[in-house]
Structure 1
């Protein structure tokens, strides 16, 4: 099926590893020109650049720390310089930590909010002059926004806030033809899981597979498929929505 995405321009934050990498590669294979960024994963950035060269297209992998507002402004400015416009923005970059709530410091609270929420706000705000009618903004959220999880109150708060931000922006930007949606992810199998000791990896995979209707974990490619849908004309009447990419997890 032709998704009518060839030649479109996209920014995907945090695209050198895990879910972000899957999204970048899915878009590139669909003919989208992609700019993505990384904070310090130089080896992964180089391997992604090589994969993108094989696919073909105008792609750029840029170093940027999404916890720094100046880096965000520079990143989006480079999108304008290189592409002249954006048809898709994917807020994927994120941070997580596991901290008992009584020991959660203000510094750590702010770090997680800065990367997961404030960065998404600033990316969208800076990108607005580049977004025209028919463009799409997608933020990568999480199932935890609905169910909560111990030791991650700060992380869960950011993902719940993304939903509220999305709903408000969908109404504010809708008259301009800009759609804004969230993907609420379940457990996605990425390099982080592959790096675990074999016994822990098997336990995690079994535990979460048993909780899903489909009996398995998700993949970055499957998240990429959902982004393709939200980037394409197939979803032209979808905005303000939270689309669950979680395999039916309970």
Structure 2
């Protein structure tokens, strides 16, 4: 992956520590990007096959990314709700001042 030093990335559906979204977030962090991770964070029984991560797991994913010397931010958001995504983008802009990369993994 090319040098992404200082870029800000948003990875949706990154709430499972062993999931694809978390792996993508890790690669972005390794390349120097600050990474925002989001997930629905509903109860495991709320979705078929327990396909979403819990808040604690999303936070663990975010915390693991800081070992690469970047900042990370976990946000609970439902990508099917415009208001959730508007709030998430506002929080990203308040924290980082920009958003450069979007990975729609959810």
| Structure whose residues are more often helix by fraction | 1
- For Structure 1 versus Structure 2, the TM-score category normalised by the shorter chain is 0.7 to 0.9
The one-character-per-residue Cα deviations of 1:151-174 (angstroms, maximum 9, x if unpaired) are xxxxxxxxxxxxxxxxxxxxxxxx
Match of residue 89, structure 2, among 51, 76, 92: 76
Separation in 2, partners of 1:62, 1:69? 14
Match of residue 62, structure 1, among 75, 83, 87: 75
Aligned length, in residue pairs? 92
Q: Which has the larger radius of gyration?
A: 1
Separation in 2, partners of 1:90, 1:77? 17
* 2:102 pairs with 1:89: yes
Match of residue 42, structure 1, among 49, 55, 58: 55
Task: Name the Cα RMSD after superposition.
Answer: 1.6
The one-character-per-residue Cα deviations of 1:74-119 (angstroms, maximum 9, x if unpaired) are 01111211121222111111xxxxxxxxxxxxxxxxxxxxxxxxxx
Give 1:32 deviation, angstroms: 0.4
Separation in 1, partners of 2:40, 2:33? 23
TM normalised by structure 1 equals: 0.35
Q: Kindly tell me: are residues 88 and 47 of structure 1, through their superposed partners in 2, closer, same or farther at Cα, counting changes over 3 Å?
A: same
Give 1:20 deviation, angstroms: 0.7
**Secondary structure at 2:5's aligned position in 1?**
coil
Where structure 1 has 5 or more consecutive residues not aligned to the other structure, the ranges are 94-250
**Secondary structure at 1:86's aligned position in 2?**
coil
Higher relative contact order (CA 8 A, sep 6+): 2
Separation in 2, partners of 1:77, 1:49? 18
